[in-house]
Amino acid sequence: MTQFSETSPIFEREEVLREEHYPDDLPERKGEMDDLHMSLAPAARGVGANNVFLHGKAGQGKTAAAQAKLSELQHHAEEESDHLNLTTCYVSCESHDLSTSYKAASRIYQELTGETRPTGYATDVVMDMMFEAMNDIGGTIIIVLDEIDTLGDDDRILYSLPRARAQGYVDDHVFPSIIGISNDLQWRDNLSPKVKSSLYDDSVLFSPYDATQLQQILRRRAAKAFRDTDLVPVDGPEPSRPADDGDESDSSDDAADSSDDAAPPSADATATASPSTESRSTASAATVEPEANEGRSPEALSATTDTVASDEAEQQTDATIEGTPVQVDNSGQEYIFRSEILTDDVIPLIAALSAQDTGDARQAIKYLRKAGELADKSDEPMVAAEHAREAQALVEREAVVEAMREMTTQAHLALAALTALELSGDAPVRAKPIYGVYKSIASEVDADKLGQRRFKDHLRELDMQGIADGEKVAAGSIGGPAWQYQLQVDTEIAVEVLKDTTRVANINFKTIGDDRSLP
């Protein structure tokens, strides 16, 4: 018999904690959804949707909002409208490396027709093929360009698509429009004036979630994902758990699953859940404002979070009645969150950690999933705060490793030089000695050598990514600031990543670090 099992003592439907899961409703984004609705509303009246730009940091519900509102519009077209002929086309520019208008147009053509992406043609020809496909389809055509900033400076398609009717690129019965989505808050400002004026009729900003909103999101996901975890209607019957095959016919579970990425929580959103077993923590849903913790170390952050959660728990334990109120939609129906699997401090802790970092719901959900996996792996009966902290460390390590793997060759060479000096015991070390080792490595692997100023840019990038730590120590030789650097990641991790790269895989870091003298 193998060790594999079709069930988990912790998870019931862990797929709702994965990135590919999108909710049907986002109550905590009601304002943003209303704005997006107004941009799409003209389509229902037969005049085509407005072009709209959704922007904000990663994990703020932009893509989920677009998909949810387009699904609603599609339902209207199919069930309620006699005249709306709607076609939607979702394109992830980053996933498909759509860095040019040519690539974007060919991908849109493929999505609209189901045919192979055209290659070997001039850009004008591919654009004509895309517009001809729109003519064949007819009606309202809404193109979602996710990670639209991947296009960079090549904005030709962003000028042509919104003006397709005015320029005669499509027939009179075709109404194309764009929903552009970007995590880069400055990207739109760098577009040419003619593109900015034609591309976006409307713009919707998705601000970072706060800790209270993240708690609401996490509880809705947790009610679906974990065993013995429910959202109970305050004035309704006890919910029945969904079937093992993922059936979502139960109304309360549908509400929990359909509203994961957010709306303003009720005033009672931070009330604590009552323990169902003696082993459960009594910590409450503590909200910690991110501005108050800028620049604090992870250790100080964790200690603050624990203290706040503990203090609020002591104040509210006597007042706890049935559980934590959770808003699942905008209907006014109140639900109570209860769990026999999650200790009461897990979700407040994860929400606080994520809110103080980026306010990223995707990150918070990943912390929760990892925490559950750690509890499952160690055969623990409950997911506790220590699992959440360990999950955060693992996720952050994975993110740093991924960032190191995706760096350019020159950035890898800079990292290799700093790693060599770290292994030889010379770090923290100033930029000049690092540059000397960098030149030695570049010569050994037959790579171009950057000038010292450009090389320092790569050191600063390592610092910004959390891979290295740069510190201003004194005035330089010509009066400017001098910096010294050291690794922020374990040397073993840096070496492991670098050994997987083509250019520096055969470098002996210890030898290179020893075979040079520091000034």
Instruction: Identify whether the C-beta of residue 42 lies closer than 8 Å to the C-beta of residue 201.
Output: no
The CATH number of the structural domain formed by 29-206 is 3.40.50.300
Task: Specify the pTM.
Answer: 0.71
Residue 422 CB partners (closer than 8 Å, separation 6+): 486, 487, 491, 494, 513
Residue whose structure tokens are 């079709």 = 6
What φ, ψ does residue 322 adopt, rounded to 5°? -120, -30
Strand ranges of the sheet holding 468-475, from the earlier edge strand across to the other edge: 429-430, 481-487, 468-475
Cα atoms found within 13 Å of the Cα of residue 260, Cβ hemisphere only: 28
Cα atoms found within 13 Å of the Cα of residue 423, Cβ hemisphere only: 20
pLDDT band of residue 172 (cuts 50, 70, 90) is very high
Condensed to tens digits (0 to 9), the pLDDT of residues 327-353 reads 887 777 889 999 999 999 999 999 999
The stretch 50-76 carries a mean pLDDT of: 95
The CATH number of the structural domain formed by 407-514 is 1.10.10.10
Domain extent listing, the chain: 29-206, 211-400, 407-514
Report the alpha-carbon distance of residue 130 to residue 362 in Å, rounded.
34
Beta-bridge mates of residue 54: 181, 204
**Share above pLDDT 90 across residues of the chain, in percent, rounded to a whole number:** 59
Residue 300 CB partners (closer than 8 Å, separation 6+): 293
Structure tokens at 479: 């009066």
Is 221 known to sit in a ligand binding site?
yes
DSSP result, 251-293: HHHHHHHHB-S-BPPPTTTTPPPPPSSTTS---------GGGG
Q: Minimal CA–CA distance to 380: which of 14, 12, 11?
A: 11
Report the alpha-carbon distance of residue 452 to residue 438 in Å, rounded.
10
Condensed to tens digits (0 to 9), the pLDDT of residues 101-152 reads 999 999 999 999 999 999 899 999 999 999 999 999 999 999 999 999 888 8
Is the bond leading into 428 cis (omega within 30 degrees of zero)? Answer: yes
CA angle 398, 499, 428 (to 5 degrees): 75
Is 117 known to sit in a ligand binding site?
no
Structure tokens at 47: 């005049």
Q: What is the pLDDT of residue 135?
A: 98
Condensed to tens digits (0 to 9), the pLDDT of residues 473-492 reads 866 555 566 889 999 888 99
The stretch 69-73 carries a mean pLDDT of: 97
- Mapped onto helix, strand or coil, the DSSP state of residue 168 is coil
More confident residue, 114 or 517: 114
Q: What is the pLDDT of residue 477?
A: 56
